[in-house]
Chain A
Amino acid sequence: AQSVTQPDIHITVSEGASLELRCNYSYGATPYLFWYVQSPGQGLQLLLKYFSGDTLVQGIKGFEAEFKRSQSSFNLRKPSVHWSDAAEYFCAVMDNYGQNFVFGPGTRLSVLP
């Protein structure tokens, strides 16, 4: 079964600074990878996803992520963080059968003015 780790429980950055959130996965084949964002009191919104092809994926709100097979990673990046980006971010992996969808524990992002 697949698994996902997000090593950083909480990250604080200043507004305008760059951001990288780490995600590592464990799966025997090439997985389907996702990043979701959850604002306080809200549901989950899909930021981006990777299924195949170009390993650098562009998403909404200026986010991008890069799939690195050799490192089993799918890190999320943003060049300049806005205060509205403060939220919890979840990395997730889906198996090749589309049945099992596993989330990481999440990384909470705080943004300083």
Chain B
Amino acid sequence: EAQVTQNPRYLITVTGKKLTVTCSQNMNHEYMSWYRQDPGLGLRQIYYSMNVEVTDKGDVPEGYKVSRKEKRNFPLILESPSPNQTSLYFCASSLRGTGNTIYFGEGSWLTVV
């Protein structure tokens, strides 16, 4: 079954404690990206990757890091989380190029206290 899998799905952490949200896809997609969803703002892109070892900033990259060492994995790293990073995070993937459907993970609820 085609899937984008995120972990953890739910997390409460404290300010400043580094955390990683993993994302894995089993569709051999080149393109992967991370979004955060906040009320009234929709989904905003944090980072995206067009292929292995290629990453670029989205609209709201501050406070986040990513890496793309393997095609299937695209972890999101919060080096020093702050309360304003409390949000719902989605990972997504698709085949590279226009006209391809983007598949989303189920989301990761992150609370920073």
Number of interface residues of B (CB under 8 A): 28
CB distance from B41 to the nearest CB of A (A): 6
Number of interface residues of A (CB under 8 A): 26
For window 51-98 of A, CB contacts with B under 8 Å fall at: 51, 90, 92, 94, 96-98
CB distance B101 to A51 under 8 Å? Answer: no
CB distance B97 to A98 under 8 Å? Answer: yes
CB distance from A6 to the nearest CB of B (A): 8
CB distance A99 to B107 under 8 Å? Answer: no
Given contact pairs A9-B40, A49-B101, A101 touches B45 in the complex (Cβ within 8 A): yes
List of B residues within 8 angstroms of A97 by Cβ: 98
List of B residues within 8 angstroms of A51 by Cβ: 98-99
Interface membership of chain A positions 34-64, coded 1 if the CB is closer than 8 angstroms to chain B and 0 otherwise: 1010000011101001010000000000000
Q: How far is the CA of A90 from the CA of B98 in the complex (A)?
A: 19
CB distance from A89 to the nearest CB of B (A): 11
CB distance B45 to A43 under 8 Å? Answer: no
**Chain B residues in contact with chain A, CB under 8 A?**
31, 33, 35, 40-45, 48, 50, 56, 58-59, 90, 92, 94, 96-102, 104-107
User: A90-B42, A94-B98, A101-B102 provided; 6 other pairs, C-beta below 8 A?
Assistant: A6-B42, A32-B98, A98-B94, A100-B45, A101-B33, A101-B92
A and B contact pairs by CB, cutoff 8 A, 16 listed: A43-B90, A46-B102, A51-B99, A90-B43, A92-B43, A98-B100, A99-B50, A100-B45, A101-B45, A101-B92, A103-B42, A103-B43, A103-B44, A105-B40, A105-B42, A106-B40
**Chain A residues in contact with chain B, CB under 8 A?**
4, 6, 9, 32, 34, 36, 42-44, 46, 49, 51, 90, 92, 94, 96-106
